[in-house]
Amino acid sequence: MALYAELHRHLGGSVVPRVLWRYFERHGADLIARFAEYSQFEDFYTRPRNSLDEYLELHTLVESVQTVETLPYFIYRLLRGAYIFENLAYLELRYTPYLRTPEHLSQNARIDKMAEIVDVVGKGSYVPEYPIVTSQILCMHSRLPYEVNKAIIDLAAQNQQYVCGIDVAGGDRYYQERLEEWVSLYDYGRSLGINTTGHLYETTDGCYPQLLPYLMRIGHGIQIPLLFPQLLKDIAKRGQCLEVCPTTYLKTGTLQDIRQLKLVFDRCFEAGVDIAICTDNAGLHNMRLPFEYENLLTHDIINFKQLQICQNAAFRHAFAWPHHQPPASLLNRLLKPELPKVLTMTD
Ligand SMILES: [Zn+2]
């Protein structure tokens, strides 16, 4: 039994179409009235989009039903699927807490409500029958004002029991107009000792070298090896890890063929840059982490040895994995105590 670490999964995009359909059947039939049957809904929900913007619009559909009352329902099903079908031992869930607060409230009232959301997600993620180590990454959002994003950082700092880092999401081409603001927000986050990742170098619109020094991991980052391989040396020196989510690039129109990722992996391996393979929006993609692995193997993008290197890198770069080793060595000791060899994180 292999156990995996998932470092990049959005709470909104993690709801598989069947679970969302069932939820709508029970609680929001009007939202699915235009679909005669489930297969039509699944097709609408999971089909590729023309751009990242169009793709991100789907998130709002799920965000609108993920409220403080319904979050435990969705999180329970997420963990159940992740444990049973994906063999996850570790999961970082990311989302923008502000977007789960009631829209009719004032900005300040919504900021005040964010702590409750973090608490509900944290408590909902503790499911003894599906023992996965979980933590939250709070996403700042490219279309939210500075005050809200700063409050998200403060919230992360105040809730280390449940939160392991911050991110910026919402479409990477919108960073440009407020670049200094993003730099100062990340600088502030780092000054508080918060772990950082950020959606960057995902598309050709999202290439901002000014932000790179502030990130411990890079959300996607595929345009670095593809278009700016000269940056890889510094990325390796800083020990930054790329969170590569293969299916995303086909769903957003960023890449036309998954085999384009071969160059990403080859150049990163060559430069000594770690890659964690992730799903991003497993539900929207109707995808599970083991299938992402398998896809990369069957398309000859990586081999088994490289896959294991990436799987170990995911545990090493996990912000809240509480052990010094990946699960294989822990399981060895538990299941075969007579074995003398102990694997370490560098194996
Ligand atoms: Zn993402």
pLDDT single digits (tens) 14-64:
888 888 888 888 887 777 888 889 999 888 888 888 888 888 777 777 887
Which amino acid is located at 52 in the chain?
A: L
CA of 219 to the centre of ligand 1 (A): 7
Quote the mean pLDDT of the chain: 92
Residues with CB under 5 A from ligand 1 (ion): 280
CA of 111 to the centre of ligand 1 (A): 23
Neighbours of 19 (CB within 10 A): 18
End-to-end CA distance of the chain: 18
What integer pLDDT is reported at residue 345 of this predicted model?
Answer: 59
CA of 40 to the centre of ligand 1 (A): 25
pLDDT digits (tens, 9 = 90+) for 68-102: 999 999 999 999 999 999 999 999 999 999 999 99
Alpha helices in 125-207 (DSSP H): 146-158, 179-191
Answer whether 331's CB lies under 8 Å from 343's CB. Answer: no
Backbone angles phi, psi at 9, to 5 degrees: -140, 130
Share of the chain above pLDDT 70, in %: 97
Question: What's CA 28's distance to the chain center, in Å?
Answer: 27
